Amino acid sequence: MTNTSFDTKIVHHKADQRLVPNSKSTPIYQTSAFTFKDLDHLESYYEGHSPYLYTRERNPNTDELAGTVAELEEAPAGVASSSGMSAILAGILAVAKPGDHIVAAEDVYGGSHKLITKELSTFGIDVTMVSFSNLEKVSEVITDQTKLLYTESISNPFLRVEDLEGLVALARKKNVKTMVDNTFATPYLLQPYTHGVDLVVHSGTKYIGGHSDVTCGVLVGNEELVKAATQKIVTFGANLSPFEAWLTQRGAKTLGLRMKKQSYNAEQVAKALGEHDAVRTVYYPEKVSERGNGAIVTIELNDSIDVEAFFRSLGWVKIAPTLAGVETTVSYPVRTSHRALSNTEREKIGINDYVIRLSIGIEDYEDIVKQLEKALADSKN
């Protein structure tokens, strides 16, 4: 571009390296749109021969992430979105239309609870929330309008493990679809789609990304439902940015390594705290999968502990209103995820001032146990 002016050169510079085909890592396609060499090329997009036009609709980085998670879940299709929440909304709207009804588990993640109870009505969707621990109760609230059963493979904070076979059997009998939030289990431990669940959703913000540096969602299922959900994500502008997709994809490379170590560590922490006289109850699931039981441990302390002092005595274990990073963190459901509930509502699901959720990281488990035991010793009443 020798014969052009500064203002032209600055956008058509010679150093352009947009195509380096043997780059070992996927480049970040940090572009809002794609260009076309002629009108035939543009036409080829609309005929379905060329995948990319505009990033809100589709981008190689989000495609790569969605494809990876779909493959890990053994589902034929996937779509990435701006957050776990937008993926959940898109999944529900792919199935339920105005006038339809869905049944959701009453112990779902706080944000999902709010979405389902406060927002779905604006789309004309009716909702019933019940405990999914007894599927007969779920069966009783299914009506002719019911289109979807919504739950989580492992619940928060008490880590109830969903009976996926029972759920799918009930849904098929009643001719309704199922959608499962698999965030806590990850496809390393459970693959709900292989059990017949129709839509599987993840907050990629958690274990799939794994490094607490990105907010993202992924939804997987069959081509038809994922296409319908993609339409919602594109139209609502709830797409994931290329850089965030790239970060999540990069984090996902170590999902197996992290889950293996974090589940092992969690098992050791659950064991040690189970023997501690300041701990009333340890909630840690059993037999989630042959690979482990997940990396979240919830405990209820007894009243020999000053809980405020416990949180002050945790040293390098930080208080964080999230989970699934490589560092061990603690969260306090009463003050964070379940803050909006009344005391009575909290009591109903078993959350009181002594319930603490631990997200176990990749450190050496002896150090995690030592740090927690020290905090318990330092916070005795």
Q: How far is CA 9 from CA 4, 34, 194, in A?
A: 6, 20, 53
Distance of alpha carbon 55 from the chain centroid:
23
- The helix/strand/coil state of 140 is helix
Q: What are phi and psi of 26, to 5 degrees?
A: -65, 130
Q: Is the CB of 244 or the CB of 376 nearer to ligand PLP? A: 244
Shortest distance, position 260 Cβ to ligand PLP, whole Å:
20
Shortest distance, position 258 Cβ to ligand PLP, whole Å:
16
Q: How far is CA 13 from CA 35, 80, 245, in A?
A: 16, 33, 27
Shortest distance, position 51 Cβ to ligand PLP, whole Å:
26
Q: Is the CB of 82 or the CB of 265 nearer to ligand PLP? A: 82
Q: Is the CB of 131 or the CB of 313 nearer to ligand PLP? A: 131
C-alpha to C-alpha distance for 179 and 155, rounded to whole angstroms: 14
How many other CB atoms sit within 10 Å of the CB of residue 156?
Answer: 23
Q: Is the CB of 97 or the CB of 318 nearer to ligand PLP? A: 318
Shortest distance, position 214 Cβ to ligand PLP, whole Å:
9
Q: Is the CB of 246 or the CB of 310 nearer to ligand PLP? A: 246
Strands 329-331 and 318-319: parallel
Cβ contacts of residue 276 below 8 Å, gap of 6+? 373, 376
Q: Is the CB of 220 or the CB of 375 nearer to ligand PLP? A: 220
Shortest distance, position 348 Cβ to ligand PLP, whole Å:
20
End-to-end CA distance of the chain: 76
Give me the DSSP letters along 68-81. HHHHHHT-SEEEEE
Shortest distance, position 87 Cβ to ligand PLP, whole Å:
8
Give me the residue whose beta carbon is nearest to ligand PLP.
84
Strands (E) across 51-204 are located at 77-81, 101-105, 126-130, 146-152, 177-181, 199-203
Looking at this protein, which amino acid is placed at residue 290?
E
Q: Is the CB of 119 or the CB of 306 nearer to ligand PLP? A: 119
Nearest to 371 by CA among 242, 304, 273: 273
Token digits for 199?
């839509």
Q: Is the CB of 208 or the CB of 305 nearer to ligand PLP? A: 208
Q: Is the CB of 84 or the CB of 221 nearer to ligand PLP? A: 84
Strands 199-203 and 177-181: parallel
Q: Is the CB of 203 or the CB of 249 nearer to ligand PLP? A: 203
Shortest distance, position 180 Cβ to ligand PLP, whole Å:
10
Nearest to 299 by CA among 324, 327, 333, 326: 333
Nearest to 210 by CA among 254, 152, 271: 254
Token digits for 71?
């493959």
How many other CB atoms sit within 10 Å of the CB of residue 316?
Answer: 10
Shortest distance, position 184 Cβ to ligand PLP, whole Å:
6
Q: Which residues bind ligand PLP (CB under 6 A)?
A: 83-85, 109, 111-112, 152, 156, 181, 183-184, 203, 205-206, 215, 217
Shortest distance, position 221 Cβ to ligand PLP, whole Å:
16
Shortest distance, position 202 Cβ to ligand PLP, whole Å:
8
C-alpha to C-alpha distance for 158 and 285, rounded to whole angstroms: 9
